[in-house]
Amino acid sequence: MEVVSTNIGDRQKVIYKKRPVETGIFKYPVPSVNLGITDVINDNVVDRKYHGGEKKACYLYTANHYAYWKKKYPHLPWNWGFFGENITVSGLDETQLQIGNQYAIGDAIIEITTPREPCFKLGLRFNTQKIIRDFIAVHFCGSYAKVIKEGEVKKGDVMKLIFKRDSLTIAEKFKEIYRK
């Protein structure tokens, strides 16, 4: 697996249901990111109840899913980081990522923790709340990670498995959450 892009976002105010809402979902590529214990340095995390913190310090999404979404939503101004991910990785596969697996990535070490559960802010990014149903239906969720060792990650870095845990995969956990 290889890092295709590293991304951060600025705090932005947008209107949702006629009310101002702040979000950091509008990520854009930068040369590198520094992973801290509770978040990505210089990335704006607005809602700390659902993002950031020890178990959700960094969000990873696969470049492989972009072709599917670009075909489904061709009118959008696509760039890496579109899903609000801090790190876009080619070859990242939610059916293979087991919760608790640890990876070396750049100078950092991360541990896979939980799938991303989409909220209305993903709908803000896509200009339609329909994306929430679409996102859940295809199980292309990406994964949050805990930072075990802080460090810099940049485009071209390899994400290498260094510890494997026998547990649920991110895809299995995502399906379990949305089974109802």
Question: What are the pLDDT digits (tens) for 89-147?
Answer: 999 999 999 999 999 999 999 999 999 999 999 999 999 999 999 999 998 999 999 99
Q: Which of 27-41, 49-63, 66-80, 127-141 has the weakest average pLDDT?
A: 49-63
Please, which residues have CB within 8 angstroms of residue 180's CB and are 6 or more apart in sequence? none
Q: Among the residues of the chain, which ranges form H helices?
A: 66-72, 120-126, 130-138, 170-178
Is the whole model's pTM more than 0.85, yes or no?
Answer: yes
**54 vs 51: CA distance, rounded Å:** 10
Model confidence band, residue 153 (pLDDT cutoffs 50, 70, 90)? very high
